[in-house]
Amino acid sequence: MDMDQKQSGAARVMAVLDVLSSADAAQFPDGMTVSDVSRVLGREKSVVSRQLKSLLETGLVARDPAGRYELSWRLFALALRAGDQRLTKVAGPLMFRLTEVVRERTYLTVLSDGEVLTVHSESSRRSIEAPGWVGRTVPVNRSSSGMALLLDHGDDHILDIVRSGQDGVGLREAREFLAHVHEARRKGYTVANRIFDPEIVGIGTPVRDYSGRITAAVNISGPALRIEPHIGVFSGHLLAAVRTLQQALSPVTHSSA
């Protein structure tokens, strides 16, 4: 089989996945049959059946006892992993430039089991700076990233997440954290002023995907004496860097590159 045939075959398989992913939930609440897919694609039923069987064997689609097909959880997991890899790959250079400008450590974080997980960090290379924390987690209520990652969550859900953490936060402290989140919603960025460490200030903002969903956060963190007088300026640099990151991650930008 030559390369053109391989590509056209891959394109045909992708068309099947596209049909399953865009199926109307009201019309196909339990998935699509072979006949449904073949009718949408305008292909012979026997051809579509073979393609679906191949996808089923690879685990990219699932089939119920009635013979209806839908995308599998394995495919969703692969998509999430690909998104995470692309996020860290694109964010790295942008965070390096941001760190060079503000001369403080920067972090890329995600929400993991109700805590903030650092997946990438750029050092300021100054003798005194915040720790790296890559691969480690901190409670959401102890960081500017935690606030940023929760900006779109409902107030009650935020209170539940904060109070269910391992550091035993009471209702009063949880409400204080929620007040910081409300302020951040108005400003567009978060500030954690000495809540993680009495000598540390953090500034964070969410990273949104093409649909507007928060998938990660970027924050600047460092000694309070250095950061506190420049929160306004640093937040401007942070917001600009994240806007550039979101544009770089956009499917439109990626496909036209």
pLDDT score, position 2: 41
CATH class of the domain defined by 3-71: mainly alpha
For 8-22, write each residue's pLDDT tens digit: 678 888 889 989 988
Query: What integer pLDDT is reported at residue 14 of this predicted model?
Result: 87
69-71 and 61-63 beta bridge pairing: antiparallel
Q: How many CA within 13 A on the CB side of residue 6?
A: 3
In CATH, which of 3.30.450.40, 3.40.50.1000, 3.40.50.300, 3.30.1330.20 is domain 77-256? 3.30.450.40
Domain with CATH 1.10.10.10 in the chain: 3-71
- Supply the pLDDT for residue 255: 47
CATH 3.30.450.40 range(s) for the chain read 77-256
Q: 67, 34 in Cβ contact below 8 A?
A: yes
What own/partner pairs with CB < 8 Å and gap ≥ 24 does 167-174 have? 167/139, 167/141, 167/142, 169/139, 169/141, 173/141, 174/141
Question: Are residues 139 and 166 in contact, defined by beta-carbon separation less than 8 angstroms?
Answer: yes
Q: What is the pLDDT of residue 39?
A: 92
Question: What would the pLDDT profile of 213-242 be if each residue is shown by its tens digit?
Answer: 999 999 999 999 999 999 999 999 999 999
Angle at Cα 212 formed by Cα 208 and Cα 137, nearest 5°?
35
pLDDT value of position 10: 81
Helices 73-102 and 231-249 cross at an angle (nearest 10°) of 140
Taking alpha carbons only, the member of 61, 57, 58, 52 closest to residue 34 is: 52
Question: Tokens in use for 134?
Answer: 């890559």
- What's the confidence (pLDDT) of residue 210? 83
What count of other Cβ atoms lies within 10 Å of the Cβ of residue 255? 7
pLDDT of residue 252: 61
Q: Average pLDDT for consecutive 10-residue bins of the chain (257 residues)?
A: 51 88 84 93 92 90 92 71 76 95 95 86 88 82 93 93 77 90 94 81 94 93 94 97 93 53
Distance CA 248, CA 257 (A): 9
